[in-house]
Amino acid sequence: MPKNKSAMGTVSFVTMGCAKNEVDSDHMGDRLLRAGYGLVDDPESADVVIVNTCSFIQAATEESIEAILDVAGYPSIASGAAHLVVAGCMPARYGDDLAAELPEAGAFVPCADETTIVDVVDGLLGVERVPGSDFAFELVGGSERVSSYVKISDGCDRFCAYCTIPHIRGRYHSFSLEDITAEIERVAAQGAREIVLIAQDTGRWGTDFEQPSTLAELVAHVAEAYPQLWFRIMYIQPEGVTDELIAAVASHDNVCDYFDIPFQHANEAILKSMNRRGSAETHLELLDKIRQAIPDATLRTTLIAGYPGETDEEFEQLKDFVEQADLDYIGVFPYSREEGTRAYGLEGQVDEDEKLARAQEIRDLADAVCAPRMAARIGQEVDVLVCGVEEDGQLFGRAMCQAPDVDGVTYVDGGKPGDVVRVRLEDSLMYELEGTVLS
């Protein structure tokens, strides 16, 4: 996100939760910049601090509350010299109840109202504008991110029994191809070399248009329109991994052969209780189909342990699936009981300690399965996008098999951030790789 200072006032963001919130913060920041505000990294020095909250599960809500209270304790906020805004999922989920619980906040901006952020900040700082005037301030500086997230839709219609997203984000709606390409051009102009396409349900993109389209068509279009960029797709529900999509990924060299498919469980009865489809058998069939078309595809999933009613036998089936699927990356979460979801009232709630123990058991098993798959890449020659420099001067980047924020990195001995270098992989440590740049 560009940073600058302004006589009108400065704003700083504290962003919690997932990459989709990062995108929302970026968009709000862009609106504020265009309205003449400055953005600063240090929230304690800002005139307005916006905490963009996550409330997907209780743990995320608690982390967001901790961040809000931390900001509320800044001398500038406590004295009234600066202002606190709470944005994102918490205001969307808890509505008016939140204002009574957090009197320290000067304003609350739910997800659906984030386009009004300039009006909110104007109101807090007493800025008056000519009615109907357009924002025409030039952006100052440039993004330091070589990889940027681009949302292709928002909301969700799945209503999985454990999930609060449809209540927070609303019903599913695809963003237009024109809006997506405009966003790609915006972040590419700021230095992005990799575009990560994200949504709550990327595989459904385009199905709600008057003239329906598909994620495969979107991927093919952007890959061909921007051959200088890498593209990566995240959060594809199993039903969204179509033959057409697999073919689109396979036929474009600048689309990462990377499939992030949240299976959530492997037992058919548990999946049905979750209001999801599938079984261990259908999951394995899908993974086999991808590997048949793209033998070196990178495969990631997320799993939930300790879902209500999960028996010892069903948990063992989940463990068996982890061993059989031979995935590259697995994110594991203990089931979180969330008020307002169907699963909240289900019988057979698993004891909290048991949920944590089961999740850790799956994590340990996943490490035993996945780490050797990373080690098997030693000796390969791959392209690496150089992303940054650590405090000790060590350059690091990511190969196409490594997604930002959730996977490991590749340490390299040459290049500069934004470069794509050819690297021979020499070593691995769990999910991290190390390589030598080829001259």
Tokens of 264: 């959530």
pLDDT at 3 over 60: no
Average pLDDT over residues 410-423: 94
Euclidean distance between CA atoms 134 and 142, whole angstroms = 22
Query: 402 in helix, strand or coil?
Result: coil
pLDDT at 274 over 80: yes
In the 8-state DSSP scheme, what is residue 230?
A: E
| 357-361 LR contacts (CB < 8 Å, sep 24+) | 358/305, 358/306, 358/310, 358/315, 358/334, 359/305, 359/306, 359/332, 359/333, 359/334, 361/305, 361/319
Could you count the other beta carbons within 10 Å of the beta carbon of residue 439? 5
Contact (CB, 8 A) for 164 and 129? no
Euclidean distance between CA atoms 364 and 428, whole angstroms = 18
Tokens of 414: 């040459």
Q: Among candidates 50, 49, 64, which has minimal Cα distance to 18? A: 64
Euclidean distance between CA atoms 409 and 429, whole angstroms = 10
Tokens of 401: 């098999």
| 141 — pLDDT class (breaks 50, 70, 90) | very low
- Range in 65-69, 128-132, 272-276 the model is least confident about: 128-132
pLDDT at 129 over 80: no
| Phi, psi torsion values for 148, nearest 5 degrees | -130, 145
Contact (CB, 8 A) for 159 and 206? no
Question: Looking at residue 140, what is its pLDDT?
Answer: 37
Q: What is the pTM of this model?
A: 0.81
Question: Looking at residue 403, what is its pLDDT?
Answer: 94
Euclidean distance between CA atoms 17 and 3, whole angstroms = 22
Determine the length of the chain: 439
Sheet holding 147-151, edge to edge: 147-151, 194-198, 230-233
pLDDT at 428 over 50: yes
pLDDT at 2 over 50: no
- Range in 2-6, 37-41, 145-149, 255-259 the model is least confident about: 2-6
| 295 — pLDDT class (breaks 50, 70, 90) | very high
- Cβ-based neighbours of 233, under 8 Å, separated by 6 or more: 196, 197, 202, 215, 219, 249, 255, 256, 258, 259, 260
**Burial (CB count within 10 angstroms: exposed 0-12, middle 13-18, buried 19+), residue 228:** exposed
User: Which DSSP string corresponds to 77-103?
Assistant: HHTTSSEEEEEEHHHHHHTTHHHHH-T
pLDDT tens-digit map of 207-234: 999 999 999 999 999 999 999 999 999 9
Helices vs strands, H then E, count in the chain = 14, 18
pLDDT tens-digit map of 158-201: 999 999 888 888 899 999 999 999 999 999 998 999 999 999 99
